[in-house]
């Protein structure tokens, strides 16, 4: 296993996670992504959570998220990503 915070590959793959999930990546990139995930428990957890979120979203009736909650979430996620760099 490797240090997730120091892994450039983790950050690169997380940037294309949506394309991976949607089946929009070239086979070679899919193979590299999956090889990486075999060794990275944190990326495995991120992909699993991403998939579960999509299933939850598609199967649950949700009310609209208030604008201030949405803005706060985006701000928090950006701060988290910035602190890892």
Give the number of residues written for the chain. 85
Which positions ≥6 away from 9 have C-beta within 8 Å?
36
Which parts of the chain have pLDDT scores under 50?
none
Full domain range(s) for residue 19: 4-84
pLDDT per residue as tens digits for the range 31-54: 999 999 898 888 899 899 999 988
How many structural domains compose the chain? Answer: 1
Rounded CA gap, 25 and 63, in Å? 32
Rg, Å, the chain Cα set: 15
């Amino acid at each position: 296993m490797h240090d997730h915070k120091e892994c450039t590959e983790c950050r690169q793959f997380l940037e294309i996670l949506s394309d991976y999930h949607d089946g929009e990546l070239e086979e070679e990139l899919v193979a590299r992504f999956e090889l990486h995930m075999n060794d990275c428990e944190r990326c495995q957890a991120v992909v699993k959570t991403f998939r579960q979120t999509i299933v939850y979203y598609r199967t649950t009736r949700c009310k609209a998220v208030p604008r201030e909650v949405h803005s706060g979430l985006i701000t928090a996620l950006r701060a988290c990503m910035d602190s890892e760099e």
